[in-house]
C-alpha cells in the first residue's frame, strides 16, 4: 500500500510539472509537441521489453508485438519530430 | 522480496529529467531541436538500462521487435508527406496504446497471482488502452479517407455509447473484487475496443483536433497506468507528461471552438439543424478577378493571410509562400493569422507553412493578431470559413456563437478565396461573404494563387 501511495505522488507531481511545462509550449509547435509526447510515451517499450525477454512463450509473443508497436512510436516519433522541427526556420529579412 | 535495482532506478531518474527538459525546449523553435536530443538520449538510456537490468533472459523476440519496429518507424518518418501528418499522429496513438494493452494482458495471463493485486491499475490500463487503439484507428481512417469523414449518426447513439460505458465501468468494479474472472476481463477489453469505434464514429472532420488531443491524453494515461501495474516509475512520469500534454491541447482546442468536451463527444457534432430557408436568400456579393486582387494588393502596406483546411486540401502552402515573397519584395508586410483549430490537428497550418519555408515569426496566433487587424490593408482568407465567421460574435442563434474567430472583417479589404459559395464544414452561412469590404475570388486556391503570383512576376 505504501508503494501505491508513492506511485500516486509521482503521478500527481509529474502531472503538475507536465502541465506547467506544456502550458509554455508555443502554439506554433503544437504538432511537434504531439509527436514528441507520443515518442516519449513509447516508453511503454521498457515494459514490453521485459515481457518479450522473459522465458514464457505467451509473454514473448505479446511482448514481441508490443515491442514492435512501441519501437515504431519511439523511432518514428523522434525522427518525424526532428524532421518537422528542422522546417521551422527564421528567415533573414532586411 | 523486491529489491531495488539501483543502477536501473538512477537511469530512469535521469531519463525522466531528460524527458522534461526535452518538452521544455518546445517553448521556442530555437531551443526545440536541442530539447528533442535530450529526450532521445533519455529514451536510449531507459531502454539500454532495462536491457542490461538482468531481467532479460531471452533476446530473439526483443531484437526482432526492435528491428521491425525501427524499420517501419523510420520508413514512416522519412517518406510520409507532411500533408499526411494528422493521420500519422492518429495512428501513432494507436500503436502506443496497443503496447499498453498487450503489456496489461501479459500481466493478467502470465503473472496471474500478482495481477490480482493490481487490478485497479491493470483494468484502467487495458480499458483506456483498448478504446484509444480503436478510437485512434477510426480517426486515422477518417483522416485518410478510408471512412467517410462526415459524422455517422443514428437514433439512440448517445444512449448506446453511455450504456456501453457504464457496462464497462461495472465490469471494471466487479473485477477489482473478483479479479480471477478471466471471461469478464476479456469481455471488458472487447467492449472497450467497441467504445473506441463508437465514440469517434459520430465525430466529423473539423472536430479532429479535439479527438487527436484526447487520444494523445488517453494514450498517456494508459502508459501511466502501465507504470502502476508493473511498478515502473519512468513509465508513470512519461505517461503523465503525455497525458497532461493531451489534456492541455484538448482544452485549447475546445476553447477555440467554444465547446465542451462533452459537447464534442456526445453533441450533435457537425450536424446542426440550421434553418436552411435563410441560406438561399439571394444577397449580392462582390466578385473579384485575379487582376483586381493584384491591384488591391499593390496598394497595400500590410497584408494578413488567413489559411484554413482548404489550403491544406489544395496543397497550396508553397504557392502561398511565393505570393508572400512577391509581396514582401514590394515592401509589403505579410503576416499569417493562425486559428487554433484551423486544419485537422493542433498546429496543422504551422507545420504546412513551415514546410513551405515561411519564417516562423510570421506565423501569429489569433490573440496576437486580432488587436492589430484594423491596421491590415488586405486580408486574404484561403480555404478558411468557420474560423472567420463574424456570426460567432453577433448571432446568438448561430451554432458557432461564442467561438473566438479571427477578426478578418476589420481589415480594410477582405479577399476570400473559395471554390464556391458552399458553406463550411459546420454548414453555417457566413455573413462575411456579403460585407461591402469583402471580395470573393472563386476557384481552386492553388490555381488562383498561381495566377496571382504569375501576375506579380509579369512586371
pTM of the model: 0.90
Distance CA B66, CA B161 (A): 37
Q: Name every chain A residue with its beta carbon within 8 A of the beta carbon of B213.
A: 34
- From B39, B59, B347, residue closest to A29, measured CB to CB: B347
Distance CA B10, CA B52 (A): 13
Asked if pLDDT for residue B280 goes beyond 60, the answer is: no
- From B29, B78, B213, residue closest to A29, measured CB to CB: B29
Interchain CB distance below 8 Å, B216 and A34:
yes
CB A35 within 8 A of CB B89: yes
User: Average pLDDT, stretch B256-270?
Assistant: 67
Interchain CB distance below 8 Å, B245 and A75:
no
Q: Which three cell numbers stand for residue B454?
A: 504569375
CB B131 within 8 A of CB B192: yes
Q: What is the pLDDT of residues B282-334, one digit of tens each?
A: 678 888 988 999 999 999 999 999 999 989 988 999 999 999 999 999 999 99
Q: How confident is the model at residue B15 (pLDDT cuts 50, 70, 90)?
A: very high
CB atoms near residue B320 (< 10 Å): 27
Among B386, B407, B409, B444, which one carries the catalytic annotation?
B386
Residue B126: name the closest of B189, B179, B184 by CA. Answer: B189
Q: Name every chain A residue with its beta carbon within 8 A of the beta carbon of B354.
A: 28, 84, 87-89
Asked if pLDDT for residue B2 goes beyond 60, the answer is: no
- From A66, A75, A86, residue closest to B70, measured CB to CB: A75
Interchain CB distance below 8 Å, B26 and A11:
no
Residue with cell 518546445: B26
Asked if pLDDT for residue B122 goes beyond 90, the answer is: yes
Interchain CB distance below 8 Å, B28 and A7:
no
Asked if pLDDT for residue A88 goes beyond 60, the answer is: yes
B 426-455: CB under 8 A from A: none
Q: Compute CA B307 distance to the chain's CA centroid, rounded to the nearest angstrom.
A: 16
More confident residue, B381 or B459: B381
Q: Does B317 touch chain A (CB under 8 A)?
A: no
More confident residue, B259 or B93: B93
- State yes or no: is B386 an active-site residue: yes
User: Average pLDDT, stretch B355-377?
Assistant: 94
Interface confidence (ipTM) of the complex = 0.95
Q: Name every chain B residue with its beta carbon within 8 A of the beta carbon of A54.
A: 57-58, 110
User: Average pLDDT, stretch B13-19?
Assistant: 96
User: Average pLDDT, stretch B24-42?
Assistant: 95
Q: What is the pLDDT of residues B251-261, one digit of tens each?
A: 899 888 887 77
User: Average pLDDT, stretch B353-359?
Assistant: 94
Interchain CB distance below 8 Å, B100 and A44:
yes
Asked if pLDDT for residue B183 goes beyond 70, the answer is: yes
Amino acid at each position: 500500500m505504501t508503494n501505491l501511495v508513492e506511485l500516486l505522488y509521482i503521478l500527481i507531481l509529474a502531472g503538475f510539472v507536465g502541465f506547467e511545462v506544456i502550458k509554455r509550449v508555443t502554439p506554433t509547435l503544437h504538432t511537434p509537441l504531439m509527436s514528441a509526447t507520443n515518442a516519449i510515451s513509447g516508453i511503454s517499450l521498457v515494459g514490453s521489453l521485459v515481457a518479450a525477454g522473459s522465458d514464457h512463450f505467451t509473454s514473448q509473443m505479446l511482448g514481441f508485438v508490443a515491442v514492435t508497436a512501441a519501437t515504431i512510436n519511439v523511432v518514428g516519433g523522434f525522427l518525424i519530430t526532428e524532421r518537422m522541427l528542422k522546417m521551422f526556420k527564421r528567415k533573414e529579412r532586411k | 522480496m523486491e529489491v531495488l535495482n539501483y543502477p536501473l532506478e538512477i537511469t530512469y531518474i535521469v531519463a525522466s529529467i531528460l524527458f522534461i527538459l526535452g518538452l521544455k525546449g518546445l517553448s521556442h523553435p530555437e531551443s526545440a531541436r536541442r530539447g528533442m536530443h535530450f529526450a532521445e538520449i533519455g529514451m536510449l538510456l531507459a531502454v539500454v538500462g532495462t536491457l542490461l537490468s538482468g531481467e532479460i533472459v531471452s533476446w530473439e523476440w526483443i531484437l526482432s521487435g526492435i528491428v521491425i519496429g525501427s524499420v517501419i518507424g523510420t520508413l514512416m518518418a522519412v517518406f510520409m508527406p507532411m500533408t499526411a501528418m494528422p493521420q500519422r499522429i492518429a495512428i501513432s496513438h494507436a500503436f502506443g496504446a496497443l503496447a499498453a494493452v498487450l503489456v496489461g494482458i501479459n500481466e493478467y495471463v502470465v503473472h496471474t497471482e500478482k495481477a490480482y493485486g493490481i487490478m485497479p491499475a491493470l483494468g484502467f490500463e487495458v480499458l483506456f488502452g483498448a478504446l484509444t487503439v480503436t478510437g485512434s484507428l477510426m480517426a486515422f481512417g477518417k483522416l485518410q479517407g478510408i471512412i467517410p469523414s462526415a459524422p455517422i449518426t443514428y437514433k439512440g447513439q448517445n444512449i448506446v455509447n453511455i450504456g456501453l460505458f457504464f457496462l464497462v465501468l461495472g465490469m471494471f468494479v466487479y473485477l477489482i473484487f473478483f479479479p480471477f474472472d478471466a471471461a469478464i476481463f476479456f469481455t471488458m477489453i472487447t467492449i472497450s475496443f467497441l467504445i473506441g469505434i463508437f465514440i469517434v464514429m459520430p465525430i466529423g472532420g473539423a472536430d479532429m483536433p479535439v479527438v487527436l488531443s484526447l487520444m494523445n491524453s488517453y494514450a498517456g494515461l494508459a502508459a501511466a497506468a502501465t507504470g502502476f501495474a508493473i511498478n515502473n516509475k519512468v513509465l508513470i512520469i512519461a505517461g503523465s507528461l503525455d497525458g497532461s500534454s493531451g489534456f492541455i491541447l484538448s482544452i485549447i482546442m475546445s476553447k477555440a471552438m467554444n465547446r465542451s468536451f462533452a459537447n464534442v463527444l456526445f453533441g450533435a457534432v457537425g450536424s446542426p439543424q440550421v434553418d436552411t430557408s435563410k441560406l438561399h436568400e439571394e444577397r449580392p456579393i462582390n466578385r473579384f478577378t485575379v487582376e483586381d486582387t493584384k491591384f488591391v494588393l499593390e496598394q497595400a502596406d500590410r497584408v494578413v493571410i488567413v489559411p484554413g483546411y482548404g489550403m491544406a486540401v489544395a496543397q497550396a502552402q508553397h504557392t502561398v509562400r511565393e505570393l508572400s515573397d512577391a509581396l514582401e519584395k514590394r515592401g509589403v508586410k505579410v503576416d499569417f493569422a493562425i486559428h487554433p483549430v484551423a486544419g485537422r490537428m493542433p498546429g496543422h497550418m504551422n507545420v504546412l507553412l513551415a514546410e513551405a519555408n515561411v519564417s516562423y515569426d510570421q506565423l501569429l496566433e489569433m490573440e496576437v493578431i486580432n488587436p492589430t487587424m484594423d491596421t491590415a490593408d488586405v486580408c486574404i482568407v484561403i480555404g478558411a470559413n468557420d474560423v472567420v465567421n463574424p456570426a460567432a460574435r453577433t448571432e446568438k442563434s448561430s451554432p458557432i456563437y461564442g467561438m473566438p474567430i479571427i477578426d478578418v472583417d476589420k481589415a480594410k479589404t477582405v479577399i476570400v478565396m473559395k471554390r464556391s459559395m458552399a458553406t463550411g464544414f459546420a454548414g453555417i452561412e457566413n455573413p462575411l461573404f456579403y460585407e461591402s469590404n469583402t471580395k470573393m475570388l472563386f476557384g481552386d486556391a492553388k490555381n488562383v494563387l498561381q495566377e496571382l503570383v504569375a501576375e506579380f512576376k509579369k512586371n
